[in-house]
Amino acid sequence: MPDLRLMVLDPAGLHGRPAARFVQIASCFQSAVTLQVGDRTANAKSMVGLLGLAVRPQSEITISAEGDDAEAALAALLAELGSAVEPTERGPAMPP
């Protein structure tokens, strides 16, 4: 299962509007997409789930996807997060 390991740089963390856009993009893909912070994991297609994680600035997150379009889902989510995150470790789907 490909994943992305990222550090959240945005001073507001992953809050309302960016979380809503994240959910919207994740929902465009058939793959199961999850976001993990520490030992807590949420379905990335659930706004309530994402906000429940309370992703703060400097949090290390892992976005994982499983399914036929998993790598495309991760690429789209990484593009959406843009400068709000930076890679902490290269996962299988991390672009060079």
Catalytic residue set: 15
d(CA 46, CA 8): 19
Count of CB atoms within 10 A of residue 77's CB? 22
d(CA 25, CA 44): 9
